[in-house]
Amino acid sequence: MILPQLKTRTRVQHEQAEASLDLMNPHLTRERYAQLLRHLWTLYVPLEDRLGTLLGPSGRAALDWQARLKRPLLERDLRDLHSALPEAPCSSGDTLAFLQAEADAWGAAYVLEGATLGGQLVRRHLGSQLDLGAGGAAFYGSYGELVGPRWKAFGAALEARGAADADPAAFAERAVQSAGQTFGLFIRGQPLPETLPAVQPLPAGGTR
């Protein structure tokens, strides 16, 4: 199973990314929020382009990839907040060099889809904190009532793809390492250089 490995082995990076974004800060302002959305746009544009290519036709079809793209939602929010788009997205050269294979794309997609799942809590906070009303929270409210079903569909598609690979263990390892690197983009704007630790086996008869 790939999902439990992704959750366990990238937990620290996940927590660091959440802390870096600091969206639940009670002193968050609309200006700071717009600045954050502009930063996210510079990351999501090259990421989604690269992942769409690496997933290939079968991967895109399995995920209904077009329906999962966040770039249009970020642009809608920035328009609603009367904030201009950045001049250009981050370079996709060295920053995304770790994304080379389909397994890498699935690991990175895990990060983006997990952020969408957690975005529902963020959206409620933003609505009250910033009084966004009908505009400005499309990105964090993406999928709406479909957020749960789409997360389950993603997990099922990921597990099926990994199981069908010629080397499922190697596929899972690449996905885990890529997820860690992707979290790194949100932590400090650069992929993490470290490889993530392997899952330690359970002691005989033990549980976690």
Q: Where are the domains of the chain?
A: 2-188
Side-chain-side CA neighbours of residue 113 (13 Å):
29
Q: Can you tell me whether residue 42 is helix, strand or coil?
A: helix
pLDDT band, very low/low/confident/very high, at 196 (cuts 50, 70, 90): very low
| Each residue's pLDDT tens digit, 126-163 | 888 898 876 889 999 999 999 999 999 999 999 999 99
Per this entry, what is the length of the chain?
208
Q: What pTM was estimated for this model as a whole?
A: 0.88
Q: Which CATH number fits domain 2-188: 3.40.50.170, 3.30.360.10, 1.20.910.10, 3.30.1490.20?
A: 1.20.910.10
Quick: pLDDT tens for 34-46: 999 999 999 999 9
